[in-house]
Chain A
């Protein structure tokens, strides 16, 4: 992984190099994206080949996922199109339990013979590993859903929108940034369509059509004489929406705090407006005041807080981490079973309510059924500040004395085995009417932070350090100017217990992570985090400026 860092980061500038290679499928034409895949009846026949072969080879459980993954990525810089990538990846992944042990194999040969061969490999792996398996796999029961389907309720399929229109939109945004003083600008559109068919020996046949979109823009301003450069990233969110997200509807905009010019985007993003502001702010950042280290009250915009929720709540409450299954990679968790069992572990202050869900419209995590055929739902993780539950799937949930999977199993492709992944994890808005400007008014010495920045957290999710995109100093109830060199360091439990105020529902927005990594071999998944602007008192802020 580290060598790849050296080699890949050496290629910075060509955005495509930074993409997880596993998301890359076969390159196809934009028109070919519109070709329908196999029909449901054909997929059922092929899936049954896997299920029947697995049974005849001695498997006690099997599931098959036939996946067609269509991606379109567009990359531009200034007035140039760097790349337009259309990819298709098609194949089948077969997971079995034999001798009480998991086995998995996948193939892009989706013929009956290819499927039988891969099933044989999966069973052989399960049998080889069963010799050293200590505890047999136990699956929570799941209802047979019969033949069902689910679709992301999109308004505009990205595949129907001509590439030219997408290129023109990005180039217009780039040009708006350049006209407003940017030296460089990179922008990109990531669009994903997962066409997934799931079948299992439990009797479910589930066809799903899932859409996601993420526009990005990075605007750089340079002061050559001082040898300084600053970048202001766009304030979009990755979303579980169609191309309608790019419409820039005024009705979906929320004004940021007075004095910042910032705009929050709900279900519609105005990339040209954001690019214009980004260029002005990047220039302003070149001369922004370097922060004085110390304790501040932090006012965190949803577009920033999303990642903080992701790292300090989402990951530590993944049951596989808690139990040690991720010990060798992402790590374990401070939120151990004894804390949960006590029934009174104060994760946060009384106003902190954190909810897991796989159903919120427009979110990245929303699907009808997870990747092992469990119907999705919403459940509490933290209620009134107290730890209530984890995120668990079929083969784990019995370990926390529950008998129903939470429905958050996911695989990034047919080529990878499915496992527990983070659902959307969101902070409920405050119940009383309270706006961002009300919040700023109540802060004496604070910093307002919007956008994602540098983020780092330890392997048990205690100690974290987060940066942001833009920082504003708050003095005596007013925004007084931009700050630079800001990062805050805290401890998860201490941080959430310092949460003193949450804006109401009218400020609520979702943010998210399009390429969240976990597992070995590493897989990405996409997940959203909703919140309203939130205040945390007395947080330690460090100054990250250095002179070399």
Chain B
């Protein structure tokens, strides 16, 4: 069994540290069990099970450090791995940016582990696949999907007295439904820590409905349109703002967050004042571990407040250089929403495009955070408050900064990929060409 309890983990790590003769030593212990099923063409294609566990030992002499890893935890193995990390550290190059290990920390209790998710069986996975395949086949639609579930733990301890432990479970599911005439496609994604919140049949039905609704799409001219972005569409662009939150690259003058003439945009208003984005490991809908790989406590942190940059992320070295407190990178993304449902947003739209998801997003210009990509799996034209007809997919060239400046309405939040993102209506979204892809 690869999942150790807090006490089992503590005993293994204490034993490992007892063999240390370096200036300092830190160990990270982790393990996971995961299972998956993949299906396509309305039948199962591949499925698998993985099991992993390992112990990472980092030893340092001054600012020379190295790591060694092992997956066996008997006394001899522990002794061997600690010794190996020490030998390696002695011959490593000096790293002037090495910050040393942290002392004892206090962490919040996380809420990331659910027994039911840890106990998922191959039969349950087969049933999930079937609850996509059967209703699809009945509607002349073909399902291709993937479900992965995992249960794992991670723990760390060091010679300065730090100890941390977390146990978590996770299930993620996506399915693409394609109409058998090849002209319609729908898609849905779900992810939870708690499998009891997951209903494969209900999720699959949304994708089936979109596949049928999106058949025989009409081409309309590319250009600037008001769009309603489902959370699965906007997260692709919002997530990429994260790349610019690094204080160091901003200070170095090579990020969107760098300011003309020097300095950073910290404190500056960069998007619509209704935009508030933060991270929170204890949020009940999107919980994460309450510490990161360095052992730093993760707390609720605001990144964009009333449209202004509230925080940039500082690694420990850069924080020291700049004389500020370190700010760990966000473990999740929570964006404030509003009351409007998707239906409300459609009803209030005179002319616009409903976008299910954005695909193959790639950076075009890091200076302006310009990205390109395409719509996929359900793109619809809205006129006078109603969905009129499906439209062919578009390529866009857009910056999430411009997108959040052109915000019209924020809708209800939805959990997506471990984050909480609202539906949103945005004006003047830039589509630059048409795609024939279904």
**Are A and B bound to each other?**
yes
Residues of A within 8 A of B (CB): 1-3, 5-7, 9-13, 26-29, 32, 80-82, 84, 87, 101-108, 121-122, 124-125, 128-129, 131-135, 167, 183-184, 220, 222, 224-229, 231, 323-329, 331-332, 334, 415-417, 419, 454-463, 465, 467, 485, 487, 489, 491, 520-521, 542, 544-548
Q: Contact: A462 with B144, CB < 8 Å?
A: no
Q: Chain A residues with Cβ under 8 A from B259's Cβ?
A: 227
Q: Contact: B40 with A229, CB < 8 Å?
A: no
Q: How far is the CB of B120 from chain A (nearest CB, A)?
A: 12
Query: Are A454 and B418 CB-contacts (below 8 A) given A10-B245, A229-B367, A463-B437?
Result: no
Closest to B333 in A: A6
Q: List 8 A-B contacts (CB under 8 A).
A: A9-B239, A10-B242, A80-B96, A106-B48, A125-B48, A125-B49, A129-B47, A456-B395
Closest to A136 in B: B43
* A9–B361 alpha-carbon span in the complex (Å): 13
Q: Contact: A546 with B365, CB < 8 Å?
A: yes
Q: Contact: B243 with A10, CB < 8 Å?
A: yes
Q: Contact: B47 with A103, CB < 8 Å?
A: yes
Chain B, 329-344, contact with A by CB distance < 8 Å: what is the 0/1 string?
1111100000000000
Select one of B93, B249, B372 contacting A465, CB under 8 A.
Answer: B372
Q: Contact: B40 with A328, CB < 8 Å?
A: yes
Does B44 have its Cβ within 8 Å of any Cβ on chain A? Answer: yes
Chain B, 317-338, contact with A by CB distance < 8 Å: what is the 0/1 string?
0000000000001111100000
Q: Contact: B249 with A129, CB < 8 Å?
A: no
Q: Chain A residues with Cβ under 8 A from B256's Cβ?
A: 548
**B residues 391-435 in Cβ contact with A at 8 Å:** 393, 395, 397, 399, 401-402, 416-419, 432-435
Q: Contact: A10 with B123, CB < 8 Å?
A: no
Does B282 have its Cβ within 8 Å of any Cβ on chain A? Answer: no
* A327–B143 alpha-carbon span in the complex (Å): 9
Closest to B258 in A: A227
Select one of A108, A122, A132 contacting B44, CB under 8 A.
Answer: A132
Q: Contact: A227 with B133, CB < 8 Å?
A: no
* A222–B261 alpha-carbon span in the complex (Å): 11
* A463–B417 alpha-carbon span in the complex (Å): 27
Q: Chain A residues with Cβ under 8 A from B374's Cβ?
A: 456, 458-459, 463
Q: Contact: A1 with B417, CB < 8 Å?
A: yes
Q: How many A-B residue pairs have CB under 8 A?
A: 275
Q: Chain B residues with Cβ under 8 A from A13's Cβ?
A: 246, 248-249
Q: Is the interface on chain B under 10, 10 to 19, 20 to 34, or 35 or more residues? A: 35 or more
Q: Contact: B44 with A26, CB < 8 Å?
A: no
Chain B, 366-408, contact with A by CB distance < 8 Å: what is the 0/1 string?
1111101110100000000000000001010101011000000
Chain B, 288-309, contact with A by CB distance < 8 Å: what is the 0/1 string?
0000000000000000000000
Closest to A124 in B: B122
Q: Contact: B48 with A417, CB < 8 Å?
A: yes
Q: Chain A residues with Cβ under 8 A from B438's Cβ?
A: 460
Closest to A88 in B: B69
Closest to B416 in A: A2
Q: Contact: B313 with A10, CB < 8 Å?
A: yes
Q: How far is the CB of B69 from chain A (nearest CB, A)?
A: 4
Q: How far is the CB of A86 from chain B (nearest CB, A)?
A: 8
Closest to B376 in A: A459
* A460–B47 alpha-carbon span in the complex (Å): 25
* A101–B56 alpha-carbon span in the complex (Å): 38
Does B78 have its Cβ within 8 Å of any Cβ on chain A? Answer: no
* A332–B97 alpha-carbon span in the complex (Å): 46
Q: How far is the CB of A125 from chain B (nearest CB, A)?
A: 5
Q: Contact: A544 with B50, CB < 8 Å?
A: no
Q: Contact: B40 with A458, CB < 8 Å?
A: no
* A26–B214 alpha-carbon span in the complex (Å): 47
Q: Contact: A11 with B43, CB < 8 Å?
A: no
Q: Chain B residues with Cβ under 8 A from A227's Cβ?
A: 253, 258-261
Does B88 have its Cβ within 8 Å of any Cβ on chain A? Answer: yes
Query: Are A3 and B364 CB-contacts (below 8 A) given A12-B243, A102-B45, A463-B395?
Result: no
Starting from the known contacts A129-B37, A520-B146, 16 additional A-B residue pairs (CB-CB under 8 Å) come to A2-B235, A3-B239, A9-B239, A27-B69, A28-B68, A80-B96, A108-B71, A183-B252, A229-B258, A328-B40, A329-B174, A415-B50, A458-B437, A463-B393, A487-B372, A545-B368
Q: Chain B residues with Cβ under 8 A from A10's Cβ?
A: 242-243, 245-246, 313, 329-330
Q: Contact: B240 with A458, CB < 8 Å?
A: no
* A101–B243 alpha-carbon span in the complex (Å): 43
Q: Chain A residues with Cβ under 8 A from B362's Cβ?
A: 454-456
Q: How far is the CB of A62 from chain B (nearest CB, A)?
A: 15
Q: Chain B residues with Cβ under 8 A from A224's Cβ?
A: 253, 261-262
Q: Contact: A327 with B36, CB < 8 Å?
A: no
Q: Contact: B95 with A545, CB < 8 Å?
A: no
**B residues 250-272 in Cβ contact with A at 8 Å:** 252-254, 256, 258-262
Does B359 have its Cβ within 8 Å of any Cβ on chain A? Answer: yes
Select one of A7, A26, A108, A455 contacting B242, CB under 8 A.
Answer: A7
* A12–B252 alpha-carbon span in the complex (Å): 13
Closest to B52 in A: A108
Q: Chain B residues with Cβ under 8 A from A491's Cβ?
A: 436
User: What 4 A-B pairs have minimum CB-CB distances, sorted nearest first?
Assistant: A227-B260, A9-B243, A6-B242, A6-B239
Query: Are A323 and B41 CB-contacts (below 8 A) given A13-B248, A128-B123?
Result: yes
Q: Contact: B332 with A328, CB < 8 Å?
A: no
Query: Are A463 and B436 CB-contacts (below 8 A) given A107-B51, A454-B363?
Result: yes
Q: Contact: B242 with A5, CB < 8 Å?
A: yes
Query: Are A324 and B373 CB-contacts (below 8 A) given A26-B54, A463-B395, A520-B38?
Result: no
